[in-house]
Amino acid sequence: MVVADYVLGWIIAHSGVGDRGANLIEYGLLVSLIAVVCVLAVAFMGRAVSSKFSSVGSGFT
């Protein structure tokens, strides 16, 4: 993330974009990163969590 911050700062400093545009870009990158992490977590852990909930649920009956 440090490299991305450095590159983003360099681009902003050399493009003449103000702080408002920089904040908007940073928030957009942050939201997209969180979305990608959530999708990957559901894709990799979805079946394991589903089977765990099923086994716990069947233990109650």
Tell me the per-residue pLDDT of 4-41, one tens digit each, with 9 for 90 and over.
Answer: 777 777 777 766 555 666 678 888 899 999 999 988 88
pTM: 0.49
In the chain the beta strands, taken as DSSP E runs, fall at: none
pLDDT digits (tens, 9 = 90+) for 41-56: 888 888 788 888 888 8
Q: For the chain, which residues make up each domain, given as ranges? A: 2-60
For tokens 């089977």, name the residue: 51
| CB half-sphere exposure, 12, CA atoms < 13 A | 16
